[in-house]
Amino acid sequence: MLPPPRKRFGQHFLTDRHYVGRIVEAIAPREGDSMVEIGPGTGILTQELVRVVHPLHVVEIDRDLARDLRERFDPASVVVHEGDVLDFDFSSLRPPLRVVGNLPYNVSTPILFHVAGKEAHVHDCTFMLQKEVVERMVARPATPEYGRLSVMLQYRFEMALAFRVPPGAFTPPPKVDSAVVRMRPLGLDRPRAKDEARFERLVAAAFTQRRKTLRNAVHAFAGAAAFDAAGIDPGRRGETLSVSEFVRLSDAAA
């Protein structure tokens, strides 16, 4: 019997074993993997992963679910970290780390940025999220879905939408479709901004008011000389710039 979902944690428990199997296939766990699962919930995915990966680390914020997981699994096989994943130090686990999980819809973006901050420690990520969020994550420039989340994640990761998951695969069913996304760090040779803090602020400003031209949207960070040096028309909108163009403009501004 499933525990009652808690709205403050955005809980929707995956119950369809067909999709559990597809997620496991997408993850492709291997013996010897260093892996952490975010939001294991009832453990339906955990029990499949631990057949191959041990110890498997899991991070669960719900104390009742965390207690159930400790009672259900051998602590030598499943290490339960009770608490908020936003406070969890991924670098405390052995690299290269594989990060997986069904992310709660209400805090998925902060979790993604938290994981992205540990990219050097991560081998890959496989997440299930709200489909609209995944579409933003993998969006290309000059599309309605392309925005700050797209740029900041694609700056660090190669992204791919693996497959979609219908509401009926969950209990209770969410009001939206879900999707599984695969993320793999681009590595040390990816384009890097000279000043990453400036890059992040510039990208955020470019999408704060999407209909503004870059000249007006990012004037606090990049003047006419920076646009000239970067070879970018200040009359363009932020949603048309590729990740590499944002890097070039940030570097010229710096």
What is the reported pLDDT for 183? 98
Contacts by 77-84, CB closer than 8 A, 24 or more apart? 77/50, 78/46, 78/50, 78/54, 79/55, 81/57, 83/59
Tell me, yes or no, whether 151 and 238 share the same domain.
no
Tens digits of per-residue pLDDT, 43-67?
Answer: 999 999 999 999 999 999 999 999 9
What is the reported pLDDT for 11? 61
127 forms beta bridges with 101, 181
Tell me, yes or no, whether 129 and 221 share the same domain.
no
pLDDT at 7 over 90: no
DSSP state string for 142-196: TSTT-SHHHHHHHTTEEEEEEEEE-GGGEESPPSS-EEEEEEEE--TTS---SSH
How confident is the prediction for the chain on average, in pLDDT? Answer: 94
Tell me, yes or no, whether 152 and 239 share the same domain.
no
Tell me, yes or no, whether 131 and 249 share the same domain.
no
Tell me, yes or no, whether 35 and 156 share the same domain.
yes
Q: Tell me whether residue 76 is exposed, middle or buried, using C-beta atoms within 10 angstroms of its C-beta: 0 to 12, 13 to 18, 19 or more.
A: exposed
* Last residue of one domain, picked from the residues 151, 185, 219: 185
Tell me, yes or no, whether 127 and 29 share the same domain.
yes
What CATH number is given to the structural domain containing 126? 3.40.50.150
Cα distance between residue 145 and residue 161, in whole Å: 14
Tell me, yes or no, whether 94 and 127 share the same domain.
yes
pLDDT at 205 over 50: yes
Identify whether 190 is part of a domain. Answer: no
* Six-digit token string for 206: 């470019």
Identify whether 1 is part of a domain. Answer: no
Tell me, yes or no, whether 214 and 169 share the same domain.
no
What is the reported pLDDT for 9? 43
Tell me, yes or no, whether 112 and 211 share the same domain.
no
* Six-digit token string for 24: 């496991």
Count of structural domains, the chain = 2
User: What is each CA distance from 75 to 37, 65, 85, 88, 90, in whole angstroms?
Assistant: 15, 15, 19, 19, 19
What is the reported pLDDT for 254? 84
What CATH number is given to the structural domain containing 245? 1.10.8.100
Residues of the domain holding 236: 196-253
Cα distance between residue 98 and residue 200, in whole Å: 25
Cα distance between residue 11 and residue 129, in whole Å: 12
* CA-based nearest residue to 201, from 221, 216, 217, 215: 221
Query: Phi and psi of 11, rounded to 5°?
Result: -80, 125
Tens digits of per-residue pLDDT, 99-123?
Answer: 999 998 888 999 999 999 999 999 9
* Last residue of one domain, picked from the residues 164, 185, 206: 185
Query: Phi and psi of 5, rounded to 5°?
Result: -70, 145
Cα distance between residue 242 and residue 179, in whole Å: 24
Q: State mean pLDDT over 124-145.
A: 97
Tell me, yes or no, whether 115 and 67 share the same domain.
yes
Strands 122-130 and 97-102: parallel
